[in-house]
Amino acid sequence: MKWLELKLDTSPAGLDPVSQLLEEQGITGLVIDDEGDFRDFLEHNHQYWDYVDEELMQEKQGLCRITFYLSDDPEGYHRLAQVRMALSQLKAAHPEYAPLLLTMNNLEDADWENNWKQFYKPMEIGERLIVVPEWEQANTQGRIPLILNPGLTFGTGSHATTRLCLTALEETIHGGERVLDLGCGSGILSIAALRLGAEHAFACDIDEKCVEVAYENAALNGIDRSRYTVRWGDVLSDQQLKAEIGGGYDMVVANIVADVIIGLSGQVRPFLKEGGLFLCSGIIDDRAEEVAQRLREAGWDILRTRQSEGWFSYLCR
């Protein structure tokens, strides 16, 4: 089936009345993009981001847009005509809602949930690992396969920060270790540690979806729950989670963002055994020195610095 994708640009004052107009025409499932909401999200969620792409900022600048969809058939075009007439009347009565510009694209019906998979291919990491999507076949050529289905919620492992961590794990895990993965997402790092020979891993994330996804990925790699524990919660504030995590780990890995790593720097030590390692990544280049300094202030020695594509990781003791 084909669809018409309609984008309607209006002023901030016009968002609510235009949305109501569309709903009165029987059009629901509206997608609203608003610069104010975008900037409000950024302002109140600093802990989840360090860098916003300039192109994205430009795209959102001055944006008040409503996107909706109609079927590409006579019924859809009839409804579109009704919308245009109603918009014409609204614009005449309320010029402050301008521009009320309506643009249209024709879209083929697609399997949106699975379409992205065509872009996710096997990926060699360092000397020993190869990340293989669940739906792909790969010639491992003697490498250790890490089978992954991240779903739409978590990353695929292709981001530079994840590759930096996987490279560090490959060089550091020699067998029998206990590993703690903070901000685990799909579980890729802790599962990689287990595939490389770690004895046990504990993984957690603030997104509760991590539990199902990480356990499913562990199962794809033949890892059962006797070796792998996944929980969700905020390790910075959840005392019950901290108690369950316990201590005595050989390594803590955190691929998150700079502010969270800074917050963790003073709280990670109790999780580690004497001489244990703290591997942190997800640090954008313009905050790398700041994070390094805060790590040193918290008593960490930075043993190895890695960087790729403007991102940094630190291996600390």
- Are the CB atoms for 6 and 67 separated by under 8 Å? yes
**Largest Cα span, the chain:** 73
Between CA 272 and CA 179 the distance in angstroms is: 9
Coil, strand or helix at 35: helix
Distance of CA 107 to the CA centre of its chain: 27
Coil, strand or helix at 281: strand
Annotated binding residue 205: yes
Q: Please say if the pLDDT value at position 152 is more than 70.
A: no
Could you read off the pLDDT of 264-278 as tens digits, one per residue?
Answer: 999 999 999 999 999
- Are the CB atoms for 264 and 280 separated by under 8 Å? yes
Phi and psi at residue 196, to the nearest 5°: -80, -5
Of 151, 145, 161, 142, the closest CA to residue 120 belongs to 151
pLDDT band at 120 (very low <50, low <70, confident <90, very high): confident
Exposed, middle or buried: residue 218 (CB in 10 Å: 0-12, 13-18, 19+)? buried
Bridge partners (DSSP) listed for residue 180: 202, 252
Annotated binding residue 217: no
Q: With left for phi above 0 and alpha for psi between -120 and 50, is residue 200 left, alpha or beta?
A: beta
CATH number at 116-316: 3.40.50.150
Could you read off the pLDDT of 176-195 as tens digits, one per residue?
Answer: 999 999 999 999 999 999 99
Between CA 165 and CA 188 the distance in angstroms is: 10
Q: Indicate the pTM of the whole model.
A: 0.70
β 2-9/64-71 pair status: antiparallel
Between CA 172 and CA 134 the distance in angstroms is: 26
Which CATH architecture best describes the domain 2-109? 2-Layer Sandwich (3.30)
Annotated binding residue 255: yes
Q: Please say if the pLDDT value at position 112 is more than 60.
A: no
Question: Where are the alpha helices (H) located in the chain, listed in sequence order?
Answer: 15-24, 35-44, 54-60, 74-93, 112-115, 160-172, 188-195, 209-220, 239-245, 258-265, 288-297
Between CA 74 and CA 204 the distance in angstroms is: 51
Between CA 186 and CA 205 the distance in angstroms is: 9
Tokens of 249: 């780990």
Ranges 49-53, 74-78, 196-200, 260-264: which has the least confidence: 49-53
- 54-66 average pLDDT score: 69
Domain ranges of the chain: 2-109, 116-316
- 27-39 average pLDDT score: 80
β 144-148/129-133 pair status: parallel
Task: Share the mean pLDDT of the chain.
Answer: 88
